[in-house]
Structure 1
Amino acid sequence: MDPGAVRKYLFFISQNYSYAILRPLQQEIIRRGDEVAWFLWGDEVNARYLKENERHIKTVDDVKVYHPDAVFVPGNMVPRFFPGLKVAVFHGFDAGKLNRRGKNDHFNIRQCFDLYCTQGPNTTSVFSQLAKKHGYFNVVETGWPTLDPLFDKVEGATSKANEAKTKKTVLMCSTFSRNLTCAPHLFEQVKKESATGEWQWLVQFHPKMPKQIIQQYKTLESEHLTFVETDNVLPLLKQADVMLCDTSSVIQMFIVQNKPVVTFNNIDPQPHMVNFTDPALLAEKLDYALKYPACLQKNVSDYIQQLHPYRDGNSSARVLEAVEQVLQGHLTTAKKKPLNLLRNLKLRKKLNYWKFN
């Protein structure tokens, strides 16, 4: 690449929460003087969430003309017929969820990517083994760009603001899966505890949460409880002192701040969590976590070192540096990426694109 030449990057997204996932990376790209554009596909992503200054490429033909150097994907798939290096940046952490075949989807290799930018040692080790097995993609541990704003210069001011609060803030999040969600099971207890005013409650659910559950929790809104609908959960993570959740990757997003997490019926409870199975114990478990016992905090700290040890807010920069290493030929692979014909035919059908030039 010639000195001073501008790199072009494309964000390939299919969910509204991908905007918040990729915007820290976009900020770093723009800071470097490079270009970035968005390509939206599917029925679950809304272009109205794009900002006025964000470039929207609407057709595959226009993607070909734009000709990105790299395509960043927070999902599982990307068309091979798009130009550019295909980079997986993940839509969340490994929450331990299994698919219908009993396998962990976080580590499912779909023959789509040239580079995986991993979040920390516990995922890097697995993807590195998979890279050796398959031989056609690189793995670089960069940290997760999404979390850069958690560790920016505002963090100190935010911490001081939290210390000045008169009462602690509980952030309740829940996945939409019927078998994993805590929302319907804890409603009566949340209703009871929020009415006391002992804690300030923020409630935010996965976008796919059933509407009846959302409406149910909205009835609890008061001076002590706020139901939040947003495509960016990061400000809520900063604001809260403890998280109440179930089995969701948002747990890991929260815990990297060195804050406690209380889980209900987590499928794989670990020492860094305060897990419980009886709804009646909700208040007791929250109270315990908010006392920050030394044994719990040590477990949290140890876990963070494996999950996401980066607290410098520079993961976006590391991702771009990893991409550059591949583009410059400093990182190579033993094999070529498989053609993946069936999956790409399906993607062509979904995108209604049948040009093969």
Structure 2
Amino acid sequence: MADYLLFATERYALPILQPLAQALDAAGHAVHAWFVDGASGARLPAPVRTVGLREAVALKPRAVFSAANWVPTFVSGAKVQLFHGFNVEKRSDERGHFRVRGLFDLYCTQGPATTAPFRELAAQAGHFAVVETGWPKLDPLFRDDAGAAAAMRAPAGSRPVVMFASTFTERLSAAPHLFDGIAAEVARGDRYWLLTLHPKCAPELFERYRALAGPNATFFETEQLVTAQRAADVLVADTTSVVSEFVVQRKPVVTFRNRAPKPHMLDFDDAARLPDMLARAFAPDDALKAALADYADAIHPYRDGRSSERVIAATDALLGGELGRLKAKPLAARLRALQIRQRMGYWGLG
């Protein structure tokens, strides 16, 4: 049995880490979690044990799995990047998904669209390895969840189900623009709505969307995101990475002013067109179905619900020397490691 550490800085990382925690526990390992910043105070179900800074260091874990942009380098063990979302092109590659900070030993990529660019970066840098594993967060999307999705859908009865999700980035968020249209759809009641917002959205937006809950809608929290995706037939969103997660199921998505619209999206820029876009989503043509399938295969072709097991196997391969010898981390990474120590207030050994 080995000790493993899960690391997160935001609550939305918990659904990413939970399937991995279950897989580690099933393999007989001890699973610990260290949550900081926006994830402080969060918990994962037993047997995951929550620890603090000094306990995390004392554990000397075999590996640290991070669903954040950074990882505490002073904790021992292999540093494994799991990603906190898909590449939705919110930023340039240099600032966004393909930014390499020099902190990780292994990148577990989600699918071919991510793997190829990271393998090119790994060949150039030499100080990290890349293995395509699929994304642990989506494991429950393709596994029996003890009826959770059916339970969430039950209030809809025979009605179709629409899910709404929005990014917190103000200039990209659909939440302020689509509220009136969604409120009208909810009031009409011919479809049932599952509503959520990014945890960083403004409190007043949360109040407005929560107030829509009733016989025709419910508001759910981030931890139920994957269950809601299974339960819904169509997604309404913007440039949130939830769009890509939903598309993996090959279900239609309606996007409002997406930053980089693609053929698999029904994108629109006039809030008054929401009813028409929903009608198209619930009657997808062959071209849209083909685009959904192509995109899903490019970003996440795994539909077996076992990405967590592949992450563990990739980590074992790294630690066993099967992925080759890695170069020393660059100077910039060492400076960043010192900044992390300063940020965390830790100057001990490690």
Q: Which TM-score applies when normalising by structure 2? A: 0.94
Report 1:75-154 matches (<5 A). Answer: 75-98=68-91, 103-154=94-145
Runs of 5+ unmatched residues, structure 2: none
Instruction: Verify: 1:268 aligned to 2:260, yes or no.
Output: yes
Match of 2:180 among 151, 171, 188: 188
Report 1:313-352 matches (<5 A). Answer: 313-338=305-330, 340-352=333-345
- Contact persistence 2:148–2:227 (CA under 8 A): no
Report 1:54-69 matches (<5 A). Answer: 54-60=48-54, 62-69=55-62
Instruction: Verify: 1:26 aligned to 2:35, yes or no.
Output: no
How many residues align structurally? Answer: 348
Q: Give, in whole Å, the separation in 1 of the partners of 2:182 and 2:249.
A: 24
2:223 is paired with a residue whose SS is coil
**1:310 corresponding residue in structure 2:** 302
The change in CA–CA distance for 1:154 and 1:52 in structure 2 (over 3 A counts) is closer
**1:240 corresponding residue in structure 2:** 232
Match of 1:290 among 273, 277, 282: 282
The change in CA–CA distance for 1:306 and 1:351 in structure 2 (over 3 A counts) is same
- Contact persistence 2:229–2:246 (CA under 8 A): yes
- Contact persistence 2:11–2:42 (CA under 8 A): no
- Contact persistence 2:115–2:131 (CA under 8 A): yes
Runs of 5+ unmatched residues, structure 1: 1-5
The change in CA–CA distance for 1:316 and 1:50 in structure 2 (over 3 A counts) is closer
- Contact persistence 1:174–1:206 (CA under 8 A): yes
The change in CA–CA distance for 1:301 and 1:160 in structure 2 (over 3 A counts) is farther
- The alpha carbon displacement at 1:50 in A equals 3.7
The one-letter code matched in structure 2 to 1:245 is: A
1:263 is paired with a residue whose SS is strand
Instruction: Verify: 1:257 aligned to 2:249, yes or no.
Output: yes
The one-letter code matched in structure 1 to 2:143 is: D
**1:3 corresponding residue in structure 2:** none
- The alpha carbon displacement at 1:147 in A equals 0.6
- The alpha carbon displacement at 1:54 in A equals 2.1
1:105 is paired with a residue whose SS is coil
**1:73 corresponding residue in structure 2:** 66
- Contact persistence 1:11–1:71 (CA under 8 A): yes
The one-letter code matched in structure 2 to 1:120 is: G
- The alpha carbon displacement at 1:227 in A equals 1.9
**2:32 corresponding residue in structure 1:** 37
- The alpha carbon displacement at 1:159 in A equals 7.9
Q: Give, in whole Å, the separation in 2 of the partners of 1:122 and 1:52.
A: 35
The one-letter code matched in structure 2 to 1:59 is: L
The change in CA–CA distance for 1:12 and 1:48 in structure 2 (over 3 A counts) is closer
Matched residues, percent identical? 41
The change in CA–CA distance for 1:231 and 1:292 in structure 2 (over 3 A counts) is same
- Contact persistence 1:244–1:261 (CA under 8 A): yes
**2:164 corresponding residue in structure 1:** 172
- The alpha carbon displacement at 1:46 in A equals 3.2
